[in-house]
Structures are given as structure tokens and as C-alpha cells.
């Protein structure tokens, strides 16, 4: 059975930066496989596009350029936030502004953004809102373990049920 929309795909993969010799980002081969419903927007579209028409048992290897993955690195996605925004009860909690700490913020329209604190000084905190993999070409290898039709319940809920 070839992979098509609304099917549950179970696969193992290895993700490396740039190419087959690139730095290992993650691998499912030593753990649970990835399970997802194909064609409903759970995965990077280019990832799904490279799996289309693959069959159970097929191996795969493909690259996805940064633009088609998590986008190019955008210098405009770095924000300086005044230190005054982090004052609670008259002081700033040092743990709340640690370098590398993940920071969730919301704009005036209620949109949520996730960023990483990359720099601090007396006046402000610099937060990078780029995806951690922005600007990086991806290289996937793996194997399709199984393919089956998603149940109505899985499609209604938008995820694979155990």
C-alpha cells in the first residue's frame, strides 16, 4: 500500500544537518518510531512530499533545503525586550533571564511566540524567535515500518491513537 492522504504512517528516521555526513540531530532507531497522519499538516510539507507513494518496507533518503523546512534564519526575528518587562515585585528573578532559556511571549493580538534568550545586559534581553533549525538544510534517512488507513476518530482528533 502506497502512502496517501489520511493514512497513518509509522517510520524510523535519522535526521542530520545538511547531508549524510552532517551532524546528527535526532534518530528514532533506538526508540519508538514516528507515527503521524499523512496529509493533514502535522509534518513539514516537503517531508511528506518526499514520502508520497512510498510503500511499507521502503527505505528513504532525501534532503530538504532550509527554505522548505524551517525557513531561512531571519535577523528580524531577534527582539530586544526591556529589562523592565521582567520585573516582578520590584526585582528581576535571575532564573527568568538565563541565557538559553526558552521564553514564551504574546503580542497585542494574542499570538504566541516562542524564543530563546541569547543575550542580556543591564537594559534589555535579546530573544531569538527563529526556529532552532532555521537556516539549516535537513537530510533524512529511514524506513517505512507500516501504513494503514486512519480511523474516523484519529482524523477527528488530528492525531494517531495508540
Going along 28-136, which residue ranges are E strands?
Answer: 34-37, 59-64, 78-82, 87-88, 91-92, 102-106, 112-120, 124-128
Q: Give dist(CA 64, CA 140) in Å, integer.
A: 8
| Neighbouring residues of 127: CB distance < 8 A, sequence distance ≥ 6 | 78, 79, 80, 81, 103, 105, 115, 116, 117, 118
- Strand 138-149 relative to strand 59-64: parallel, antiparallel, unpaired? antiparallel
Ordered by start, the domain boundaries in the chain are 7-70+134-157, 75-128
CA distances from 93 to 65, 102, 110, 120, 156 (A): 40, 15, 25, 13, 43
CA distances from 116 to 2, 71, 102, 107 (A): 40, 17, 5, 16
**Structure confidence at residue 162 (pLDDT):** 76
**Structure confidence at residue 135 (pLDDT):** 97
Q: What is the mean pLDDT of residues 45-49?
A: 96
The answer as to CATH 3.40.50.1360 being correct for domain 7-70+134-157 is no
| Neighbouring residues of 57: CB distance < 8 A, sequence distance ≥ 6 | 143, 144
**Structure confidence at residue 105 (pLDDT):** 81
- Name the H helices within 52-146: none
Considering the domain 75-128, what is its CATH architecture? Answer: Beta Barrel (2.40)
**Structure confidence at residue 55 (pLDDT):** 97
Mean of pLDDT over the chain: 93
Q: Give dist(CA 6, CA 39) in Å, integer.
A: 6
Question: What percent of the chain clears pLDDT 90, i.e. is strictly above it?
Answer: 75
**Structure confidence at residue 68 (pLDDT):** 97
Q: What is the pLDDT of residues 91-141, one digit of tens each?
A: 888 888 889 999 888 888 888 889 999 999 888 999 999 999 999 999 999
Amino acid at each position: 500500500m502506497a502512502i496517501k492522504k489520511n493514512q497513518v504512517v509509522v517510520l524510523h528516521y535519522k535526521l542530520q544537518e545538511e547531508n549524510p555526513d552532517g551532524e546528527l540531530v535526532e534518530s528514532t532507531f533506538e526508540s519508538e518510531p514516528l507515527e503521524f497522519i499523512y496529509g493533514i499538516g502535522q509534518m513539514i510539507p516537503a517531508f511528506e512530499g518526499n514520502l508520497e507513494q512510498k510503500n511499507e518496507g521502503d527505505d528513504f533518503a532525501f534532503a530538504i533545503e532550509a527554505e522548505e523546512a524551517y525557513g531561512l534564519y531571519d535577523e528580524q526575528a531577534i527582539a530586544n525586550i526591556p529589562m523592565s518587562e521582567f520585573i516582578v515585585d520590584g526585582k528581576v528573578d535571575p532564573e527568568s533571564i538565563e541565557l538559553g532559556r526558552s521564553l514564551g511571549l504574546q503580542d497585542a493580538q494574542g499570538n504566541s511566540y516562542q524564543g530563546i534568550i541569547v543575550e542580556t545586559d543591564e537594559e534589555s534581553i535579546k530573544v531569538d524567535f527563529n526556529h532552532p533549525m532555521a537556516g539549516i538544510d535537513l537530510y533524512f534517512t529511514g524506513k517505512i515500518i507500516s501504513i494503514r488507513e486512519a480511523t474516523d476518530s484519529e482524523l477527528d482528533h488530528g492525531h494517531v491513537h495508540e
